[in-house]
Structure 1
Amino acid sequence: MPIITEIEDLKRLYKRRAPKMFYDYCESGSWTEQTFRENSSDFDRIRLRQKVAVDMEGRTTASQMIGRDVAMPVALAPVGMTGMQHADGEILAAKAAEKFGVPFTLSTMSICSIEDIAENTSAPFWFQLYVMRDAEFIANLVNRAKDANCDAMVLTLDLQLLGQRHKDLKNGLSAPPKLTPMVILDLMTKWRWGLQMLQTHRRTFRNIVGHAKSVDDISSLHSWTAQQFDLRLNWDTVKDYRKQWDRKLILKGILDAEDAKKALQVGADAIIVSNHGGRQLDGAMSSITMLPQIMDAVGDKIEVHLDSGIRSGQDVLKALALGAKGTYIGRAFIYGLGAMGQQGVSEALRVIHTELDTTMALCGEKDVKNLGKHNLLIPKDFSGDWQ
């Protein structure tokens, strides 16, 4: 096994082992990818305040996210098509998360189904829902999540229509991949991935196929999906989901203080400050730069989480010190999954935990819950001076 000391090590292995179309699906944003890039680079603008001669024995990164005990305030984010990055990818990631003691979030657009995760894990997991036009399918999907003992729903609000992702269009992204000459040539160099995929029957969107009306094969799935994302989604819709879901409700895709206040009004338990990893509105602000404004607006009234751009334990610490109660990693765990399966996800979590714990200590803190702005040096123009 190669020595893994940072997330970038896993990314290099992942790029060698995953088919190009799925690597590009993960490692890209919409349009010019400005927001995708700045999600990560804006973390670098925040510096850490070093403290010395502080007793560091008995440190802990244990915390809670929406009342759930976690080994560190980091959850695995919902990522579509995870089961195409590695055979049975969602199952393997959920197992790694359970073993480590952090939440796993399953995407609506997963390859492994809700039932697949429930059958292969014992810890409750979270389910991410896209609002779609087929009301009967969605009602059934919500009930399936309840039956699987999902203890939180993550309702995504920033994908009523897809932001254009050039690489996905050029690669002909699909699950399973269409065997064009270019794809076949690429797969010939990814034999490890191919052998793993041959050993599983999970190769398409199992939350949808066989559950939505008239969707029983790949061609019908594509036509159904293209028509389903609901342009009519509004705050009244969100209120309806709040009534239907009697467990924890997390609203994902909040990037504006006024929207954060509306999330509070509809009775959400938490919000995720997120721009969909830079995959939707290119030119939007990075999540980390918008976090301070959103904390000022609602931070003492609702639990605030953050995703988009986190690649290290130091990034996690910076988000927590700015007020977030939890964070999510998407690409960072996908790198591990594509590189080494379940072991790779465990390695990604280990790396982030080690970085978080060590950095916290060098900042003079023994408990992750005590992190605050006093641990940071923040540029005066960090959130910008915009009209």
Structure 2
Amino acid sequence: MVQRRIPKVRDLAPLMQFKAPELNGRKRRLDAALNVEDLRTIAKRRTPKAAFDYTEGAAEKELSLARARQAFEDIEFHPAILRDVSAVDTSATVLGGPVALPFGIAPTGFTRMMQTEGEVAGAGAAGAAGIPFSLSTMGTASIEDVAAANPGGRNWFQLYMWKDRDRSMALVDRAAKAGFDTLLVTVDVPVAGARLRDTRNGMTIPPSLTPKTVINAIPRPQWWIDFLTTEPLAFASLDRWSGTVADLLNTMFDPTVDFDDLRWVSEQWPGKVVVKGIQTLEDARRVADLGVDGIVLSNHGGRQLDRAPIPFHLLPEVARELGNDLEIVLDTGIMSGADVVAAIALGADFTLVGRAYLYGLMAGGREGVDRMIAILTAEITRTMRLLGVASLDELGPQHVTQLSRLAPLQRSARAESERPVG
């Protein structure tokens, strides 16, 4: 028989600890977010559909994005036991400079449309965390404003080559003078991808007001207050534009850009040059031959060619072939610190996060970006400890197996020709 007694006050006291309520609503929401998906849920609740869908969406059926994310789900970690992981070092040297963590903030366009603090919040958070911030050609904060928001940190500038080369290079010159240390030349946008969510939402700059958008905005008053009481949304590096996003992209981007243009741009930039949008081993070899400092394996977050190659699947092969010739950065599909660790283990020198950053921004401005970085940092250090590694240098292919889900039925003739002999 269980012996029972009347509980004494001194026994109950330790069980009656009440947490003081958090009166700051933003802090309360962000503290409750335990992963990036939680930030996404908050962001969706607080952001009008057109702006949220611009972040969330991808091209056509959105297969490229879904496959990229699935690729990170389809891995198996192999932990080593009985290792001293009392202290974990997440720092590295990337593209000639220090980083405190193995990820940076990817370039994103239209950012102040997601949340009014925009790139200034992202740059400030990146600087505080010791990671690079990338400003897009399509950004809504100027080169100089980003430099002011992150004066002691690393700023990278992402360049789209326009039909007007003089205007393109004027931006490059401004970025160099503002102290940006790396140029990301994006090469996978000869024309705009078919982003159907944006078309269906009537996505324009500035946003178009329709009865549907007004109804959608009613439960999101803070977004509209911020939008209407701050500087009008515009591209800080471009002239004002009134029209659809797709029309703007197709007006700007130059489908004639080739490898000679890439060489020419590289010669104009005094810092590190990275080519963003590499999706085949052959193209990775060609840009390596040009002497660039790095590449970003990326399918533009699934926003250009649907059914494009999965960057994470391409990573091991490119790392084996070219890892000694240039630095390899990976983006597309990264939504957790475990994803970052898996990428580093399979040969990436660094990673970039785009949607995860924007989810944090939409969820809570600068504080939301800080929270996103804190979440990924905790996930990275925890995953490293559980794998039995104390530094990024200790991570290797032995720690990760990519499980097969989308295996080719047959290799292409080009792929066969690239196979090593013997």
What are structure 2's unaligned runs of at least 5 residues?
1-27, 413-422
Q: Does 1:243 align with 2:243?
A: no
Q: Does 1:313 align with 2:343?
A: no
Correspondence for 2:317: 293
**Aligned residue type for 2:319:** M
For 1:157 and 1:74, the matched residues in 2 are separated by 21
| SS of equivalent residue, structure 2 residue 308 | coil
**What's the offset of the Cα at 1:271?**
0.3
Residues 49-68 of structure 1 deviation map (CA, whole Å, 9 limit, x = unaligned): 12222111221111122121
Q: Is the contact between residue 241 and residue 248 of structure 2 (CA under 8 Å) also seen in structure 1?
A: no
For 1:176 and 1:147, the matched residues in 2 are separated by 30
Correspondence for 2:233: 203
C-alpha distance 202-127 of structure 1, shift in aligned 2 (>3 A): farther
For 1:180 and 1:277, the matched residues in 2 are separated by 29
Which structure 2 residues correspond to residues 142-291 of structure 1 after superposition, within 5 A?
142-209=172-239, 216=240, 218=242, 225-291=249-315
Correspondence for 2:73: 44
For 1:381 and 1:225, the matched residues in 2 are separated by 34
**Aligned residue type for 1:132:** W
| Bigger radius of gyration among the two | 2
**Aligned residue type for 2:109:** G
Which deviates further from its counterpart, 115-124 or 141-150? 115-124
For 1:386 and 1:77, the matched residues in 2 are separated by 32
Correspondence for 2:420: none
**Aligned residue type for 2:210:** T
C-alpha distance 278-377 of structure 1, shift in aligned 2 (>3 A): same
Which deviates further from its counterpart, 315-324 or 225-234? 225-234
For 1:192 and 1:117, the matched residues in 2 are separated by 24
TM-score normalised over the length of structure 2: 0.87
C-alpha distance 41-224 of structure 1, shift in aligned 2 (>3 A): closer
For 1:136 and 1:9, the matched residues in 2 are separated by 43
Which deviates further from its counterpart, 107-116 or 319-328? 107-116
Q: Is the contact between residue 111 and residue 202 of structure 1 (CA under 8 Å) also seen in structure 2?
A: no
| SS of equivalent residue, structure 2 residue 192 | coil
Which structure 2 residues correspond to residues 332-347 of structure 1 after superposition, within 5 A?
332-347=356-371
For 1:167 and 1:99, the matched residues in 2 are separated by 34
Correspondence for 1:212: none
**Aligned residue type for 1:229:** F
**What's the offset of the Cα at 1:346?**
0.8
Which of these residues, 27, 35, 39, is aligned with residue 10 of structure 1?
39
**What's the offset of the Cα at 1:126?**
0.4
Correspondence for 2:49: 20
**Aligned residue type for 2:238:** I
Percent identity of equivalent pairs = 34
For 2:246 and 2:347, the matched residues in 1 are separated by 41
| SS of equivalent residue, structure 1 residue 126 | strand
**Aligned residue type for 2:266:** R
For 1:61 and 1:226, the matched residues in 2 are separated by 40
Q: Is the contact between residue 202 and residue 244 of structure 2 (CA under 8 Å) also seen in structure 1?
A: no
Correspondence for 1:377: 401
C-alpha distance 105-55 of structure 1, shift in aligned 2 (>3 A): same
| SS of equivalent residue, structure 1 residue 296 | helix
C-alpha distance 138-376 of structure 1, shift in aligned 2 (>3 A): same
Q: Is the contact between residue 74 and residue 404 of structure 2 (CA under 8 Å) also seen in structure 1?
A: no
For 2:404 and 2:359, the matched residues in 1 are separated by 34
For 1:349 and 1:48, the matched residues in 2 are separated by 23
**What's the offset of the Cα at 1:285?**
1.9
**Aligned residue type for 1:149:** G
Residues 264-293 of structure 1 deviation map (CA, whole Å, 9 limit, x = unaligned): 111111100000001111111211011112
Correspondence for 1:131: 161
**Aligned residue type for 1:180:** T
Which deviates further from its counterpart, 352-361 or 116-125? 116-125
For 1:13 and 1:280, the matched residues in 2 are separated by 27
Correspondence for 2:328: 304
What are structure 1's unaligned runs of at least 5 residues?
210-215
**What's the offset of the Cα at 1:296?**
2.4
For 1:4 and 1:191, the matched residues in 2 are separated by 22
**Aligned residue type for 2:87:** G
| SS of equivalent residue, structure 1 residue 272 | strand
| SS of equivalent residue, structure 1 residue 227 | helix
| SS of equivalent residue, structure 1 residue 314 | helix
Correspondence for 1:116: 145
**What's the offset of the Cα at 1:221?**
9.8
| SS of equivalent residue, structure 1 residue 153 | strand
For 2:336 and 2:285, the matched residues in 1 are separated by 29
**Aligned residue type for 1:146:** A
For 1:335 and 1:179, the matched residues in 2 are separated by 23
Which of these residues, 56, 68, 90, is aligned with residue 97 of structure 2?
68
RMSD across aligned positions (CA): 1.8
Residues 168-223 of structure 1 deviation map (CA, whole Å, 9 limit, x = unaligned): 111111232111221222222221111222332151111102xxxxxx55369997
Which of these residues, 119, 122, 125, is aligned with residue 90 of structure 1?
119
For 1:306 and 1:331, the matched residues in 2 are separated by 14
Residues 329-369 of structure 1 deviation map (CA, whole Å, 9 limit, x = unaligned): 00001000000001111111111111111111111100012
Q: Is the contact between residue 164 and residue 280 of structure 1 (CA under 8 Å) also seen in structure 2?
A: yes
